[in-house]
Amino acid sequence: MTSLVERDRRVVWHPYAAPEASPLFAVESAQGVRLRMEDGRELVDGMSSWWSAIHGYRHPRIEAALEEQLHRLPHVMFGGLTHESAVRLCERLVALSPEGLERVFLCDSGSVAVEVAIKMALQVWVSKGRPGKRRLLTIRGGYHGDTFGAMAVCDPVTGMHGLFEGNLSRNLFAERPGCRFDEPCEDADIADLARLLEQHRDELAAVILEPIVQGAGGMWFYSPDYLTRVRALCDEADVLLIADEIATGFGRTGRFFACEYAGISPDILCVGKALTGGTLTLAATLANDRVSAALGEGDPGVFMHGPTFMGNALACAAANASLDLLEEGKWPEQVSSIGEQLRSELEACRSLPAVADVRVLGAIGVVELHEAVDMSVVQPEFVEEGIWIRPFGELVYTMPPYVIESGDLSLITGGIFEVVSRIA
């Protein structure tokens, strides 16, 4: 009988892969924090399916919400129509998000949420009669998605999109803040961004960044002081601030939103990934009154974006169930315990010759290597260790589900140590 992997390689194209993906492993089912493979092996998932399955797989509360919604209303167009699941979700996101964010635009994915945020920022200044403010400023080491607007604000070196450089909008990139999470932000750390803001304030629509944690662009954790100062500089320069919390939102860093570490509220906030507990694709872009009023009052008076599956009822039901679980209040202790164990058990990696740095924040553990890994070699080795870890570049990291138990987390940290120790 032809295996699932063989069938896949004939017709499927996977992300960041050649037409025939390799290495490739077939999943038969998932439950809790485990993936059951087609060959019968079980792997402890250290990735939460790209950071989204925070409650683990097949949580009964989320499945019950999906079943109820499926029988009532699986989907309806959001143009001119509305429904309970979407309205309730938007009400809750407004209540949970940093103060001042009062309007929610529902999207299909994280990349689209960033596109929406960029379009909102650009349309604000057109509505205000200042169409020259159309560029964006960001910091190096960032990653915001794979669509064209999002690619244009990813790091031009680490953002994986250099192939398309000639087709992307030409935005501005400040040096990545060198101040670590537990360090103060010195003037030198923010000098480059401050300089670019001052020099280009009349052509800048917004600053966009990942607050506190830079994700796929480098897994770098920087000082909350830096973010506080960025907010103040944006206000001084009359430039909007977009916070991309797609990876950091919903508790991953130890706060519900990473912006809370700095005590700031952005003008526009992007969320996604864990929004539905990893069950269905859904994202959202939240805006404050400054943004929504400008778009509503200027010509044409409407926001020019409209996804077909915007406000999908099934996805909204899953998101509401995920928020129910988060609002029960177990996640802070879970994330704190994961962080403490990651700090303790990954520290052993620091002595390995291949390792440049080890860092942990919330439920994120990172082992940075001196050189990029060979995925064709290390991915099967992690599988042999009984864990699912998906490194990229020089970064071997884990962002496990919040519900993981200490024994399973030790399998992840021990497996990382064993594989990294074998890297020359």
- Contact between 185 and 229 under an 8 Å Cβ cutoff? The reply is yes
Assigned token pair, 141:
């080491």
Catalytic-residue membership of 143: yes
Q: Which residues pair with 269 in a beta bridge?
A: 243, 286
Catalytic-residue membership of 16: yes
Given 57, 143, 222, 226, the catalytic residue:
143
Q: Which residue has the tokens 């100062």?
A: 229
- Contact between 27 and 38 under an 8 Å Cβ cutoff? The reply is yes
Reduce the DSSP state of residue 157 to 3 states and report it.
Answer: coil
Given 244, 261, 267, 408, the catalytic residue:
244
Reduce the DSSP state of residue 188 to 3 states and report it.
Answer: helix
| Spatial distance between the Cα atoms of 53 and 389, rounded to a whole number of angstroms | 14
Q: Provide the 10 A C-beta neighbour count for residue 412.
A: 28
Q: Are strands 364-369 and 27-31 parallel, antiparallel or unpaired?
A: unpaired
Catalytic-residue membership of 273: yes
Burial class (CB in 10 A: 0-12, 13-18, 19+), 343: middle
Largest CA distance in the chain: 66
DSSP characters over 178-230: --BTTS---HHHHHHHHHHHHHHTTTEEEEEE-SSEE-TTT-EEB-HHHHHHH
Assigned token pair, 193:
């961004």
| Spatial distance between the Cα atoms of 234 and 216, rounded to a whole number of angstroms | 25
Given 45, 57, 273, 402, the catalytic residue:
273
Catalytic-residue membership of 324: no
CA angle 109, 114, 117 (to 5 degrees): 125
Q: Would you state the torsion angle of the CA atoms of residues 184, 96, 152, 372, taken in this order, to the nearest 10 degrees? A: 60
With CA atoms as reference, report the closest residue to 349 among 414, 412, 424.
414
Q: Provide the 10 A C-beta neighbour count for residue 325.
A: 18
**N residues, the chain:** 424
Q: Which sequence positions are flagged as catalytic?
A: 16, 143, 244, 273
